[in-house]
Amino acid sequence: MSRENEHVQFANPGRARALLEAAPDGWMETLGARITEAEPGRVVLELVAGPQHRHGGGVVQGGVITQIADAAMGMSLATLQENGVWNTTIELKINFLRPAVKGRLRAVGRVIEMRQTLLFSEADVFDEADRLIARASSTCMPVPEGQGRE
């Protein structure tokens, strides 16, 4: 576990391993995203951006960047949650620092703090030249597996 997560009492290395070993499906398969690193408190998602990810202005659409950042944050939290409990985003903020046009994008999600009812995480998104293109933060809430917010 990284130094920034030393305050966390519970880690779920089995879930981190399962995330890393799972084949992309759903939205990840559609966008071409994959998990490349996973450890308790930290998950990295990558996406090779191409023409299918760009808007009319010729750069990667912000929603694509937001999606990989949000997923990296949520999955990083999941690696510190017990089996049978996941999380859902209740607030998300993202700042775009520079445009991306093509190439590998890497979203690095990390846990900031976990409380009983609120979970906090951040993600940095880097381009192929390892330049920071976006920074995101989220507040999530834990939810039992298979349930939504009711």
Mean of pLDDT values over 38-67: 97
Tokens 């906090």 correspond to what residue? 120
Which pLDDT value is given to residue 108?
A: 98
Per residue in 4-18, pLDDT (tens digit) is 545 456 899 999 999
Architecture of domain 3-144 in this structure: Roll (3.10)
Which pLDDT value is given to residue 5?
A: 47
Residue 93's alpha-carbon distances to 66, 105, 106, 122, in angstroms, are 9, 19, 18, 9
Which pLDDT value is given to residue 1?
A: 43
- Full-model pTM: 0.91
Q: Is the pLDDT score of 50 beyond 70?
A: yes
Which pLDDT value is given to residue 2?
A: 47
Mean of pLDDT values over 109-119: 97
Which pLDDT value is given to residue 8?
A: 54
150 vs 137: which has the higher pLDDT: 137
Residues 46 and 104 sit within 8 Å (Cβ to Cβ): yes
Rounded Cα–Cα distance for residues 96 and 135 (Å): 7
Lowest-pLDDT choice from 9-18, 23-32, 45-54: 9-18
Which pLDDT value is given to residue 7?
A: 46
Per residue in 54-110, pLDDT (tens digit) is 999 999 999 999 999 999 999 999 999 999 999 999 999 999 999 999 999 999 999
Per-domain residue ranges for the chain? 3-144
